[in-house]
Amino acid sequence: MTTTSSNIFISTHPITQQKISSLRNAKNSARTVRELISSITSLMLYDVTKDLQLQATTEATSPVGSYTEQEITTKVALIPILRSGLAMLGAASDLLHDAEVRHLGLFREETTLQPVEYYNKLPRVCSVDECVVLDPMIATGGTAGAAIEILLSWGVPKIKFLAICASREGVEALAEKYPQVSFYIGVVDDVLDKRGFVSPGIGDCGDRLNSTA
């Protein structure tokens, strides 16, 4: 991944870029959209998780000799933003099968474009080392910013935000406001219109995933 800012990491992997190009296609079925989002999430998570801490544990035996087992000690919480973030959760939990899953429900009010929180079941005390926020799209950055504020208030030491597509305006504003957060982005688009839509973007993922457009 290349860096446009010290805390923004944009994927340059050819397979990821090909799949994002396929995801943009308006003719895709909901099933295809789900499959592509899951696949892209899996690819991007290898970079998101590359700094997790390993610890040597017990001695074990392979078919040809002894070795020391390795175990990830970083405690991770996966935070899918309802509803479209759920499409990324399966791939993330398959890779991080010991991670906690904590849902946040946020939506963008159509007139004001301001985030509205409608679901939050975070426990009173934070017991994880880092959170990986899952949301396919960053447009204005309002919803992403609201999620980050909630997690900072919760007290999590480290936040990583994984999005498949982002507007340049939205993600750069977030990166400047939250320098302690790492943003992992599949592709950045330059156009963000007055209605808060990114072009060419990937459309309204919630509607595309659930055939509700």
Q: Compute the distance between CA of residue 69 and CA of residue 15 in angstroms, rounded to an integer.
A: 31
Among residues 47, 74, 129, 204, which one is catalytic?
A: 204
Which H helix or E strand runs over 90?
helix 86-95
Q: Compute the distance between CA of residue 202 and CA of residue 204 in angstroms, rounded to an integer.
A: 7
Check if 112 is active-site: yes
- Nearest 10 degrees: CA dihedral of 183, 163, 83, 80? -50
Which H helix or E strand runs over 139?
none
Among residues 4, 24, 32, 108, which one is catalytic?
A: 108
Q: For residue 176, give the 3-state DSSP assignment.
A: helix
Q: Which of 200, 202, 152, 199 is CA-nearest to residue 174?
A: 152
Among residues 24, 74, 129, 207, which one is catalytic?
A: 207
Check if 108 is active-site: yes
Strand-pair partners of 182: 160
Q: For residue 3, give the 3-state DSSP assignment.
A: strand
Strand-pair partners of 55: 71
Check if 143 is active-site: no
Among residues 73, 112, 193, 212, which one is catalytic?
A: 112
Q: Compute the distance between CA of residue 171 and CA of residue 140 in angstroms, rounded to an integer.
A: 8
The catalytic site residues sit at 108, 112, 204, 207
